[in-house]
Amino acid sequence: MSSPRADPDSSEEPKPGKAKTEFRNYTEGKLIERVYNTYLLMHTHQTVEFVRRKSAQYGSCSLRRMSVMEALQLLDQLVDESDPDVDFPNSFHAFQTAEGIRRAHPDKDWFHLVGLLHDLGKVLALFGEPQWAVVGDTFPVGCRVQKSVVYGDSTFHDNPDTKDPRYSTEYGMYQPGCGLDNVLMSWGHDEYMYQVMKFNNFALPKEAFYMVRFHSFYPWHAHGDYGHLCSEEDRRMLPWVRELNKFDLYTKQEELPDVQQLRAYYQGLIDKYCPGQLCW
């Protein structure tokens, strides 16, 4: 599919159900112990060796065959244990995000679909992977952890890569400006869903693939860390990732969408861009 314009049309932020400062609060709240423990396990076990192993395990997309809607229905069973803002199934969040994008960008139906797809990789948690290997913010492995990584100052003490001289410098195993395409990110739903989209030849613009692949990389797109690894292409894509993030974050609210009413519209988009039974 031909690529859209270089930058998304800037849109107004959705009206969240609570103050913006109350989102992504990692210091207090009723879910905070669950969230902290998820990140502690993630930051202990996500190493270069672990990521390479998971990439090899899932890169062939030979786990099962199912449609996008079937994958979405599986997310009815999943509550993200890394998210301090929601305690309801992830399938509702998919429709909340997609509908927020649809209201702000009515002419970009492919972008509406990205909202629906962006977290579908979380089905890994229902295929036997622990949540720390599926959900949460991502970060590059193989180089020094930057300051904005959630709980980064208290959760990496048992990660062996932090003591490995190959991986513990600012650049670690990477070259300056090598591009995120050449960086190993912590394993999770972003990279898995990107691989599923690529393997099944989704007929979407490259911005769609990029947004899905890096939407959880908050240390970069929200805090400006890891810029020393980024290429010009990464900087060109950044506005798209930030545009998705507005709706990913600020459409989360307890008032849940009427999924049955919306299903026909999104099935039409699925039939247009990624139809039928897919390899996962």
- Let me know if residue 8 belongs to a domain: no
The pLDDT of residue 235: 98
pLDDT at residue 147 in the model = 95
107 found inside a domain: yes
Q: Is residue 200 a contact partner of residue 278, using CB atoms and an 8 Å limit?
A: yes
Confidence (pLDDT) at 249: 80
Residue 64 lies in a domain: yes
Which domain, by its residues, includes 47?
31-279
Average pLDDT over residues 8-18: 60
- Mean pLDDT, the chain, whole residue set: 90
Calculate mean pLDDT across residues 35-62: 97
Question: So what's the pLDDT on residue 93?
Answer: 86
Alpha carbon of 202 to those of 1, 23, 113: distances in Å? 9, 32, 11
Number of domain units in the chain: 1
Query: Is residue 26 domain-resident?
Result: no
Q: Give tens-digit pLDDT for 195-238.
A: 999 999 999 999 999 999 999 999 999 999 999 999 999 999 99
Q: Is 161 annotated as a binding residue?
A: no
pLDDT at 137 over 90: yes
24 is in an annotated binding site: yes
Q: Report the alpha-carbon distance of residue 167 to residue 278 in Å, rounded.
A: 36
2 is in an annotated binding site: no
Q: Has 189 been labeled as part of a binding site? A: yes
- Asked if residue 62 belongs to a known ligand binding site, the reply is no
| β-bridge mates for residue 66, sequence order | 278
Q: Check residues 82 and 142 and name the one with the higher pLDDT.
A: 142
Does the annotation list 83 as a binding residue?
no
Q: Answer yes or no: is 136 a known binding residue.
A: yes
Phi-psi region of 142 (alpha: psi -120 to 50; beta: other; left: phi over 0): left
Distance CA 32, CA 38 (A): 10
Residue 275 in domain: yes
pTM of the predicted structure, to 2 decimals: 0.89
Strands (E), the chain: 65-66, 278-279
Q: What are the distances in angstroms from CA 235 to CA 35, 64, 221, 243, 274?
A: 30, 35, 10, 14, 27
Q: Is residue 22 part of a domain?
A: no
Residue 240 lies in a domain: yes
> In Å, how far are 75, 80, 129 from 121, measured between CA atoms?
10, 12, 11
What's the rounded Cα separation, in Å, for the pair 24 and 150? 10
Give me the pLDDT at residue 19, please: 53
- 18 band by pLDDT with thresholds 50, 70 and 90: very low
Answer yes or no: is 60 a known binding residue: no
pLDDT of amino acid 12: 61
Please say whether the beta carbons of 85 and 24 come within 8 A: yes
**Residue 45 domain flag:** yes
* 93 marked among binding-site residues: yes
